[in-house]
Structure 1
Amino acid sequence: MSIRLLIADDQALVRGALAALLDLEPDLEVVAEVGRGDEVVESARTTKPDVALLDVEMPGLDGIEAAAALRAAVPGVRALIVTTFGRPGYLRRAMEAGAAGFVVKDTPAAQLADAVRRVHQGLRVVDPSLAAETLVAGTSPLTARESDVLRSAREGGTVADIARELHLSEGTVRNHLSAAIGKTGARTRAEAARIAVDSGWL
């Protein structure tokens, strides 16, 4: 019995290359490819994969949100995050969302195939250097609300825009922004958002 795979990546070239590489393995079969995070659950329902390989940065839903949606809707499918962005915060968030594994895209093909097999067997697979970095980096210092406000600030909106979008008062938004700036050691909200993104907290 071959292990059925779904590949989700917004870059068609990367998606095609991953599919071609994994299809070469006698026990692996790619049954679906999607380019958006919000197509993952629907595709998994119709094609019934065993393992879903999810990129982090995708339109619709990111790979971490897609992993959480998959766990809720099709719990039999195991999620393996395959990303260019080996950020410690991403790894922690992915594990909290129920992903069974986290590897970076430059993992050699044989190792990637092995990671798929191990995830399918019910094991957890994590890039070892990233696991060490994550332990050192610790958890995000931001509260859920501070993260929401920073995410919204990334789009370049004013305090009034953010307040409207998140249904908060402008004073509350300013408080969350100043707390987030303080916690990230940044000088501006743009810098705070960039630091939070680079750390994988957003």
Structure 2
Amino acid sequence: MKNDVLIVEDHPFVAEATKKLLAGAHPLLNITICSDAASAVQELGNPDRTWHRVLLDLDVPGAHGLSLVMEAHRLGYEGITCIVTAMDRREYETQIQALGFLGYIVKATSVDDFTNAINLIFKGERVFPTPIERRREVNEAIRLTRRQLEVLNLVRTGLSSKQIAEALNLSEGTVNNHITGTLTALEVGTRSHAVARAIELGLLSVSA
């Protein structure tokens, strides 16, 4: 039975905590810890080891960007490798998922969620943040005031700044300031894009 597990992690506390978690749930595992890219590459390429799972941090000494990910992929380990990292980067997650890796777990997740994700990984299930989770994360990060949402809701009806000002009993300059703040918060360049982005994030309802 294959029971070799490789943990690539340079923080001793995190590495030992992960090892303890795995040993408690799977006492027959033979766990190896590597704290840098060079030793990880050596272990991954070791012909005498048949890895069952690889838990791979992206940001260990000697690693750059997705260098260790690409090495694991080159060796054909993507199907048993889960990325466990502090890097909550959507572009990395998307590329790693497209390459066929087993999962992408962000360390900042709760202990319960982390434990559940690890258990799923060892059952052979793929674990990546769902679109709903991603939307919730982005939604929580983007804050619009009640007045900004009120103005944006009128923007999507086609009203001009002057018309919105009259409807809300505000000055036209104040309305434009709210719109500028909204564009900045949503990281968009036009009013129509702001409306679309707000609907996508669930900040505005689909129907006006």
Superposition pairs of residues 1-202 of structure 1, within 5 angstroms? 1=1, 3-26=3-26, 29-46=29-46, 47-62=49-64, 64-75=66-77, 78-108=80-110, 111-128=113-130, 132=134
Query: Normalization by structure 2: what TM-score?
Result: 0.52
Cα distance in structure 2, aligned partners of 1:35 and 1:42 = 12
Task: Name the CA shift for 1:9/1:107 in 2 (closer, same or farther; >3 Å).
Answer: same
How far the C-alpha of 1:97 sits from its partner, in A, is 4.5
Superposition deviation, residue 131 in structure 1: 6.3
Amino acid at match of 1:102: Y
Structure 1 gap segments, 5+ residues each: 137-183, 186-202
- Once the two structures are TM-superposed, the CA of residue 113 in structure 1 deviates from its matched residue by 4.8
Which deviations, in whole Å up to 9, do the C-alpha atoms of 1:36-55 show, x marking residues without a partner? 12322321343322111111
Answer whether contact 2:8 2:36 (CA < 8 A) is retained: yes
3-state SS in 2 of match to 1:125? coil
Question: Which aligned runs of 4 or more in structure 1 are off by greater than 4 angstroms?
Answer: 108-111
Cα pair distance change 1:37/1:63, threshold 3 Å: farther
- Distance in 2, matches of 1:59 and 1:71, equals 19
- State the percentage of identical aligned residues: 23
Match of 1:50, SS state, is strand
Q: Which amino acid aligns with 2:22?
A: L
- Segments of structure 2 that go 5 or more residues without pairing to the other structure are 139-186, 189-208
Change (3 A) 1:49 1:113: farther
State whether residues 4 and 48 of structure 1, in contact with CA within 8 Å, keep that contact through their aligned partners in structure 2: yes
Once the 2 structures are TM-superposed, how far is the Cα of residue 122 of structure 1 from its aligned partner? 4.5
Q: CA offsets per residue over residues 147-198 of structure 1, 9 Å max, x none?
A: xxxxxxxxxxxxxxxxxxxxxxxxxxxxxxxxxxxxx99xxxxxxxxxxxxx
Counterpart Cα distance in 2 of 1:53 and 1:130: 25
Aligned-residue Cα RMSD (Å) equals 3.5
Q: Bigger shift: 95-104 or 123-132?
A: 123-132
